[in-house]
Chain A
Amino acid sequence: MNDTICAISTALGVGAISIIRLSGKEAISIANKLFSGKDLTKVATHTIHYGFICDKEEQIDEVLVSVMRAPKTYTKEDIVEINCHGGISSTNKVLELLLLNGCRLAEAGEFTKRAFLNGRIDLVQAEAVSDLISASTDASRKLSLNQVKGSLSTIINILRNNILDVLANIEVNIDYPEYEDIEEITIEMLKDKITYINEELTKILASAHDGKIIKEGINVALIGRPNVGKSSLLNKLIEENKAIVTNIAGTTRDIVEGSALINGIKFNFIDTAGIRNTADEVEKLGVEKSRQIIQNVDLIICVLNGEEKLTAEDEEILKFTDNKKRLIFINKNDKTLKIDFEKPAVYGNTKTMEGIKELKKQMIKEFNLSHIATQDFTYVSNARQIALLKQAQIIIHDLQKEVSNNIPIDMLEIDLKKVFDLLGQITGETYEDELLDKLFKNFCLGK
């Protein structure tokens, strides 16, 4: 961590301005070598300066340079940010010059890693920063910002302190057994405590699901027989909502057709191969995959053709999506309604946009999204945090069983301590080998 790192910290190709960030002991002097304008080594901290980045005599780009001196910076090191205006190729050229003059290209997540290692932010905050960068909706940005400010840490710390009180009392009972006026923790009291901890964990974990929705969006599969209007419905949903037509290639969701923001929440629509019984080997594979998708999505929209009676295939589809979160959309274009369907459904017309608004309303309702939007965004939102919370909950569930089993309190306490440690790992207060490596791998380049 003695060297100076740099990276383009805005997404390339998006927006007119790209920012290159430098962090480290030589950040200011290296930037100064390339900058024509004021002497950056002499300017006050947290100031912005206009000038040019030059390669010897040649002006490469017209820039604004921010100089921020340690320690009041994101990484607690000297930081320089160069706002480039000239598009991708000149930004790349500036980066190249920085590398030639003594900077090293930052590894993924290295700015945040330095911020963490220099004690600027705790683990939850570090993870939230990575979320913030990749956040694609307003709600998810708010959630990340909230975590950066430390709301989750606060909740976990309150729970942790609560456990610590019990641990301390049990220890006192052990070390000073003959002091009759010190409260003795009884099995009954411990039961109450465990119930309380379980409730708190359940609450945090329940909000974790919301947190995941806010961050990653809701995955929706549209299914139905071929030619019932799936694709046109999909297009309407996406088009109508000015879809972020992102192609999330390289992720596991390689079949996401498109995403749309509805009430500020991202919905990812997933295409499924038409599901039907088939003898064709190749098609069988496709069907199998669809069934898997259906198992993993958050919501299914079954599309039925309102101009025909229900077919055996429709029945089949309805049957095996019956126990999932599901909405039914009955599509009728111009002709008359022939379907005889009794369950609640949204009736619409994919050509005229009829019923689309209603469908969206139902989608929001399914996830109680209005309640998410009004809460204070202290959700747990990443896999590592959720896994630790779940581990803690498993131990608490074991404890709930053991506590009625005549096990001595000082043994039950071992489990309680473990829960305390696991919660500490969420906020980064206990050291576990490899924790850091695992963590920083998940960061995108730049802050």
Chain B
Amino acid sequence: MYDVIVVGGGHAGCEAAHAASQLKMKTLLITANIKNIADMPCNPSIGGSAKGIVVREIDALGGIMGKIADMTHLQIKMLNAKKGPAVRSLRAQADKKQYPQKMLEALQSQKYLEIKEAMVENLIVEDNKIKGVLLEDNEPIAAKAVILTTGTYLKAQILVGDSKTPSGPHGEKESKNLSDNLRKLGFEIQRLKTGTPPRIAKNSVDLQVLQEEKGDQEYLTFSFDNPASYDIAKQESCYLVYTNEKTHQIIKENLSKSSMYGGYVEGVGPRYCPSIEDKIVRFQDKERHQLFFEPETKENDEWYLQGFSTSMPVDIQEKMVHSLKGFEHAQINKYAYAIEYDAINPLQLKASLETKVIENLFTAGQINGTSGYEEAAAQGLIAGINAALKLQNKEPLILKRNEAYIGVLIDDLVTKGTKEPYRLLTSRAEYRLLLRGDNADLRLRDYGYQVGLISKKQYQNLQTKKTNIQKLIDILETTNLKLNEANKQIFMASNIEVPASSLKFSNLLKRPAITLKFLENFVDLDFSEEVKEQVEIAIKYEGYIKKMEKEVEKLINLESKQIPSDIDYDKVGNIATEAREKLKKVMPTTIAQATRISGVNPADIAVLTVYLKKEYGK
């Protein structure tokens, strides 16, 4: 008898299995193919706008994605470096061979974790409570909790042109019956679609005519714990590619041959990740579209052509690729394809990621309607933690929207649901100035420690960092600049306006032109770069941060207005029918959550508030 069974070894499954076993739950990870643990069937990168912050959050809470990515990437960059601190985000080109290998090693070294190769086709449920899983050959395996992280494997079908073949990514076996069995248990199943571009032999491409994009020239890490372990000079480059008139011509002439436009696709694809034929149809007057040519691994010559995902037949794909400058003689190793798969309706989940339908059953990743490795890993981590907490009879870990992108992600899923594969975007986070990549540890490590994924030593490091931040703030707030001739000269030499009086350093730092580094001309600040960064942001953007904190107060006020779980929405008069249906389905736990449900308008909230006051005296 296992405590926790994790079904699926993708990014959600890995974090879930790691977290549960780290919390001393006897855990079994079941995957169709051990070689495919932590596989990256699509883009070869980890992080990106908003997603890079999620990886930092995972690390802050005690997950492993960031640490494995740090060990294995080919290139790393800080996106939006020239913009404000809130929107900076790391992105690494991951090595598609190295990353899964290191992840497998990490999981195999987990004391409480076993890994088994098998296909799960059904669940064992008694009295709406999970009891275990049934394998393909009907072998039962008992467990107290089950986490489904089945990715795109539920009834998966690969589409290329007019051909439609049942299969998971890279010809892996798909799960035939699990989604039907979930439907029988009361889950609503929706069909989603995603796609991936062709892989091309690098040696067959003329890189000389492409624009090179290098990695950053400073050391960067996702993890808060380990120093960088790569060589800056040995980072691989990516390249910019553009489509042209010829490419567009080929696509337009053959549009009806694509799975999408030929009408072969049932699933709903993501708006933010359109296929190249979509882009050309929707943006007729654009003369060219930007593509990226990216390395996948050091171990072979296979490169990824980002932005060129398509469901055209293979002969057309050949023509399309060869029309690109530098790709005239390109050799396609793997053709682009679209994939359709089943997912559940995330409105059937609690914020802990436990399903409302079956007790102790959790789901995470693409099965919940999301897209992206990072979104999957984040949910896997939370599901793993909450499965363990549930079995320990403890309250679940639920992150609020003002605490983490992970909180925004899960709240969006369980409150708004999704009709297309959901991707995190910075614009989804209304408090993003507080949800920075640089302060993920300050925001979340305490939770990681309370849960038990963060060690005493890591926790002490955090406390030291907090103390030092305060110390540095105190120094800047209590020391004044000496306005002598020598100091005036330093200002003038840097072309910075000399202050009229001897101001405090903290006030000087608020000036747009003055950095903390500049102030070190006048005062010794013996602190780590991390601490300096925190203090500089805190002082420089104090006004904006305070404004945002005020907004958070409003949220917390609404979050504190709880809605009893036994509420009967049929008894709340005069709520619009659509709103009533939505409220019944979502069963929001607070008024704040209710306001975020689409289709529930302010009038419904007003009626609901009045009803709660009347019925429950709240």
Where the two chains meet, the residues of A that have a C-beta atom closer than 8 Å to any C-beta of B are 1-2, 116-119, 171, 173-181, 405-411, 414-415, 418, 428, 430-431, 433, 435-436
Contacts and interface: CB of A to CB of B under 8 A. Distances in A.
A411 B288 contact: no
A175 B425 contact: yes
A1 B603 contact: no
Nearest to A1: B574
A410 B79 contact: no
Contact of B290 (A117, A180, A408): A180
Interface in B347-403: none
A431 B573 contact: no
Interface string B255-276: 0000000000000000000000
A117 B606 CA distance: 8
Contact of A433 (B79, B427, B557): B557
B427 A175 contact: yes
Interface of B is mostly: mixed
A409 B83 contact: yes
B602 A176 contact: no
A117 B426 contact: no
Interface string B518-561: 00000000000000000000000100100110000010011000
Nearest to B431: A414
Contacts of B548: 414
B304 to A, nearest CB: 15
Interface string B581-610: 000000000000001000001110111000
A174 B603 contact: no
Contacts of B554: 433
B607 A1 contact: yes
Interface of A is mostly: loop
Nearest to B307: A179
B564 interface: no
A398 to B, nearest CB: 9
Contacts of A179: 290
B512 A410 contact: no
B80 interface: yes
Contacts of A418: 547
A411 B602 contact: no
Contacts of A428: 602
Contacts of B107: none
- How big is chain B's contact interface, by range? 35 or more
29 contacts: A1-B607, A117-B603, A117-B607, A118-B603, A173-B83, A174-B80, A174-B87, A175-B50, A177-B49, A177-B79, A177-B83, A178-B213, A181-B286, A406-B512, A408-B85, A408-B87, A409-B83, A410-B80, A410-B86, A410-B87, A411-B86, A411-B433, A411-B541, A414-B544, A414-B547, A414-B548, A418-B547, A431-B595, A436-B603
A175 B84 CA distance: 13
B228 interface: no
A173 B288 CA distance: 18
B447 interface: no
A68 to B, nearest CB: 18
A414 B427 CA distance: 11
Contact of B544 (A174, A178, A411): A411
Contacts of B544: 407, 411, 414
A205 to B, nearest CB: 23
Choose among A175, A178, A415 the residue with the greatest number of B CB atoms under 10 Å from its CB: A175
Contacts of A180: 240, 290
A415 B543 CA distance: 11
Interface string B493-518: 00000000000000000001100000
A180 B240 CA distance: 10
A408 B426 CA distance: 15
A431 B574 CA distance: 18
A431 B512 contact: no
Contact of B83 (A2, A405, A406, A410): A410
Contacts of A119: 576, 601, 603
B368 to A, nearest CB: 21
Contacts of B512: 405-407
Contacts of A409: 83-84
B239 interface: no
What 5 pairs across the A-B complex have the smallest Cβ distances? Answer: A408-B84, A1-B574, A406-B512, A171-B427, A2-B573
Nearest to A123: B602
Interface string B16-52: 0000000000000000000000000000000001100
A116 B426 contact: no
B449 interface: no
Given A410-B87, A431-B595, A175 B426 contact: yes
B569 interface: no
Interface of B: 49-50, 79-80, 83-87, 213, 240, 286, 288-290, 292, 425-427, 433, 512-513, 541, 544, 547-548, 554, 557-558, 573-574, 576, 595, 601-603, 605-607
A88 to B, nearest CB: 33
A173 B426 CA distance: 10
A174 B83 contact: yes
Nearest to B286: A181
Nearest to A114: B574
B319 to A, nearest CB: 24
B258 to A, nearest CB: 23
Contact of B426 (A174, A181, A406, A435): A174
Contacts of B427: 171, 174-175
Nearest to B609: A433
Contacts of B426: 171, 174-175
Contacts of B80: 174, 177, 410
Contacts of A406: 512-513
B494 to A, nearest CB: 15
Contacts of A408: 83-85, 87
A238 to B, nearest CB: 44
A178 B50 contact: no
Contacts of B573: 1-2
B369 to A, nearest CB: 19
B603 A176 contact: no
Choose among A171, A405, A408, A418 the residue with the greatest number of B CB atoms under 10 Å from its CB: A408
Given A411-B86, A428-B602, 9 more contacts: A2-B573, A174-B87, A175-B50, A178-B290, A179-B290, A406-B513, A409-B83, A414-B548, A436-B602
Given A2-B573, A433-B558, A171 B602 contact: no
B84 A410 contact: yes
B492 to A, nearest CB: 19
Contact of B433 (A175, A176, A414, A433): A414
Contacts of A414: 433, 544, 547-548
B602 A435 contact: yes
